[in-house]
Amino acid sequence: MNEFELIKNDPHLSGICDDDACIRQHLPQFLRVYDSRKLCKDCPGLFACRQKNKGQRLDLRYEGVLIEEVEYCRYASLVRSGKAVLEKYSYCDVPENLADIDLESITYTPQQKQLYLQLAALLYEKSDKGLYICGDLGTGKTYLCTALANSLVKRGKRVAFVKVSNFFNEMKSFFGSDTDMIDRNINKLKKADYLFLDDIGSEAVSEFVRDDILFRVLDYRLENKKITLFTSNLSKEELLKHYQYDRKEKSNLMNARRLMERIDILTNDYVLTGNNMRRETKC
């Protein structure tokens, strides 16, 4: 098969220009695009992209003249649309690899089904209370909550998704130097329509963390009836002990109980069981 026939037999390229003379006249351009698009054949994802610029390939369009342009493949388009979603969060710790999921697109295991249904009830405003989701490592807590968070953002809700340990480390870096930044971030968490506190109990405890940030945020959200979701590897009983002691092993059971009371009122409990999906994915 000669080069002209190669282009004529390509359904995409042959449809750009119906005139055979046009194809013959611009054959080098058609061949460049053909070679570029051929690199995408059977591609499993961006991690295996063979293009010079990841996720981008050549294409042609005809508007009286032939115009060569760059287009994004479907994998890159998903990432770009996901990043657009992430930019709409009031505070966002969502990993980029989860930016393109939502409750309509994900699959779930039989063990995750009931949690999925409870999250869907929140999406459709059939529940006025958040969830405290505890479970072992890798059971899908963050994955499912991220799907709900992205779905809420797409519906125009103000959403804050916080990796708890990251957030507190960032706030500590501002302590004593930029109190305005601390207050601005606390207000984002207080006033979001939906707040996700992911992996609570993983952070180091101090009075600043427990009393000056978490208590202020949760007390405001309780008073203003705002929905809050937590994920954790700890049960609520274990979380109480976690917040009772600071780094210096100083005990303050009363403040820990005040904090946990607000978590109790804000949420229903859910225990997620199942295998470690991260380990199974690596196998």
Which string of b and e fits 84-117 if b means at least 16 CB within 10 Å? ebbeebbbbbbeeebbbbbbeebebeeebeebbe
pLDDT band at 282 (very low <50, low <70, confident <90, very high): very low
pLDDT at 140 over 70: yes
CA distance 277 to 283: 10
The CA-atom distances, in angstroms, between 150 and each of 119, 160, 232 are 12, 10, 20
**Mean pLDDT, the chain, as a whole number?**
89
pLDDT at position 81 = 61
Q: What angle do CA 44, 45, 47 make, to 5 degrees?
A: 115
CA distance 119 to 162: 17
- Which amino acid, one-letter code, is at 180? D
pLDDT in tens, 262-277: 999 999 999 999 888 6
pLDDT at position 53 = 87
> By the 8 A CB rule, do 246 and 252 touch?
yes
Tell me the mean pLDDT in the region 223-235.
Answer: 97
Q: What is the pTM of this model?
A: 0.72
Tell me the mean pLDDT in the region 222-235.
Answer: 97
Does residue 239 or residue 44 have the better pLDDT? Answer: 239
pLDDT at 173 over 50: yes
Instruction: Please name each of the domains of the chain with its CATH number.
Output: 3-72 (no CATH), 87-282 (3.40.50.300)
